[in-house]
Amino acid sequence: MSAQARRGVEAGRGVEAGRGGEGGQSLASFRAEREADWLAFERLLQRAERRSPRALDEAELLALPVLYRSTLSSLSLARAISLDRALIAYLESLSLRGYLYLYGRQRGLFGRIGRFFTADWPAAVRALWRETLASLALLLAGTLAGYRLVAADPTWFARIVSPQLAAGRGPEASAEALCEMLYAGSDGMLGAFSAFLFTHNAQVAILAFALGFVLCVPTVLLILSNGVMLGAFLQVYAAKGLGLELGGWLAIHGSTELFAIVLAGAAGLRIGTRVAFPGALTRVEAAARAGRVAAVVMVGVVIMLLCAGLLEGIGRQTVTDDAARYGIAGLLLALWCGYFYLWGRRSRPRGGEGDSGDG
């Protein structure tokens, strides 16, 4: 026991002095001698749990782990020698509370946020490079398929793109109408439009990720169908000689948004493949590891989609020059790629969960 200032303990000492010394039985004195420590620990814990740790002063903070260890040793001892079940149950619950308070949660949330941006996010994206390539290939395959389908038979467009989404754009629309839509200016609701795009896309991305759990199948379908839609639009515009213009219209946010969608798909593929093929690990352990890496990527995806929503809702409506649109798109793509694949490659991800590698 430490000599730290522990008000509770000191208070307890007085009570115990009368009993502890002369207890004829060793077992009775076991409880009598330590009871005050337990109660002091319980009180400290209660205050620390209820309010923030700042409610405790320095001496009390130092006393907390000491009291925790003494409670734990009491528990071991009680299990060995005592048959008082209520006492053991009490010590078990108190030790568990202390354990969870001291070890069970993450400290330094701000440090964690900092590490997310400087190390964990890019490292997690790098760890998923195979899935990212697969996801990108699926998206491209879908795009190609959509393009070819609509090129071969324009009626496919109506089957691929729902009327609300098409909003008048389609094989039968005139080139002027299509062009006008690409450069339509603001109608004053840009912020709301951005917010809508962000929340909608982020929700779809999260769904694509979560569905990966079902052995990847729904994720694959979702990415493919996105690609097919993209391809169908591209064909409609390209057929009217507006391919380049549509490219700029899409790319300004698309380089970020599609990248995010590809990463969400990759995260879904990761959990699906790891559940299906756990390798040397148990299935449960493999799932848990894949889930944690994928979760880091998904937090990043939501951040990327927030950027994409702003670019689409505000940037695209205000920047109507093709070159500028392509410039912004290229710049962002370069930034993301540099950040993910070049930043901090040397430093291995640190911290308690250093398993973001693709082991």
Partner 1 sequence: MASAAGERLSRSLVTPEGVDLGVTLADAGARAAAFLIDAIIMVVTLVVATLAGIYLFIRLGETIAQPLIIAWLLGFFLLRNGYFVLFEAGRRAASPGKRLLGLRVVARDGAALTVDRVVARNLMREIEVFLPLTILAMRQGQGLADTATTLFGLAWVLLFTLFPLFNRDRLRVGDLLAGTWVIELRTRRLAADLAAVPAGGGEPAGQAQPGEAYVFTQAQLEAYGIRELQKLEEVLRVNDAAALATVAQSIATRIAWTGPVPEPRPFLVAYYAALRAHLEKGVLLGRRRADKHDS
d(CA 58, CA 157) in angstroms, rounded, equals: 69
d(CA 301, CA 90) in angstroms, rounded, equals: 45
Under the binding rule (CB under 8 A), the answer on residue 42 touching partner 1 is yes
Q: What is the largest CA-CA distance in the chain?
A: 102
User: Which residues in the 254-283 window bind partner 1 by CB under 8 A?
Assistant: 271
Q: What residue has token string 């590490």? A: 115
User: Binding partner 1 by CB under 8 A: which of 117, 180, 353, 354?
Assistant: 353
Nearer to partner 1, 231 or 349 (CB): 349
Size of interface with partner 1, in residues (CB under 8 A): 80
Amino acid letter, 109: L
Nearer to partner 1, 145 or 295 (CB): 295
d(CA 184, CA 317) in angstroms, rounded, equals: 7
Residues near 277 by Cβ (< 8 Å), separated by ≥ 6? none
Q: What residue has token string 């430490």? A: 2
Question: What is the Cα Rg of the chain in Å?
Answer: 30
User: Which residues in the 112-131 window bind partner 1 by CB under 8 A?
Assistant: 112, 120
User: What's 348's DSSP letter?
Assistant: P
User: Which residues in the 12-31 window bind partner 1 by CB under 8 A?
Assistant: 18-19, 22-25, 27-28, 31
User: Which residues in the 151-210 window bind partner 1 by CB under 8 A?
Assistant: 188-189, 191-192, 194-196, 198-199, 202-203, 206-207, 209-210
Under the binding rule (CB under 8 A), the answer on residue 343 touching partner 1 is no
User: Which residues in the 218-247 window bind partner 1 by CB under 8 A?
Assistant: none
d(CA 24, CA 20) in angstroms, rounded, equals: 9
d(CA 261, CA 82) in angstroms, rounded, equals: 60
User: Binding partner 1 by CB under 8 A: which of 183, 213, 326, 343?
Assistant: 213
Nearer to partner 1, 241 or 351 (CB): 351
Under the binding rule (CB under 8 A), the answer on residue 311 touching partner 1 is no
Distance in Å, CB of 65 to partner 1, minimum: 11
User: By CB under 8 A, which span of 3-11, 226-234, 290-298, 328-336 interacts with partner 1?
Assistant: 290-298
Distance in Å, CB of 312 to partner 1, minimum: 14
Q: Which two tokens stand for residue 301?
A: 């995806």
User: Binding partner 1 by CB under 8 A: which of 289, 310, 315, 336?
Assistant: 289
Nearer to partner 1, 79 or 345 (CB): 79
The binding track of 50-89 with respect to partner 1, each residue x by CB under 8 A or -, is --x----------------x--x--xx---xxxxxxxx-x
Nearer to partner 1, 118 or 331 (CB): 118
Nearest 5°: the CA angle 184, 186, 188 is 155
Cβ–Cβ under 8 Å, residues 73 and 1: no
d(CA 353, CA 357) in angstroms, rounded, equals: 10
> What separation in angstroms does the CA of 56 have from each of 27, 44, 53, 100?
33, 8, 6, 17
CB atoms within 10 A of CB 170: 18
User: Binding partner 1 by CB under 8 A: which of 6, 8, 97, 336?
Assistant: 97
Distance in Å, CB of 225 to partner 1, minimum: 15
Left (φ > 0), alpha (ψ -120 to 50) or beta: where does 168 sit?
Answer: left
Nearer to partner 1, 302 or 319 (CB): 302
Nearer to partner 1, 149 or 301 (CB): 301
> What separation in angstroms does the CA of 263 have from each of 64, 257, 298, 336?
44, 10, 8, 12
Consecutive H or E run containing 252: helix 243-276
d(CA 41, CA 60) in angstroms, rounded, equals: 10
Nearer to partner 1, 31 or 240 (CB): 31
Nearer to partner 1, 246 or 263 (CB): 263
User: Binding partner 1 by CB under 8 A: which of 178, 229, 296, 329?
Assistant: 296
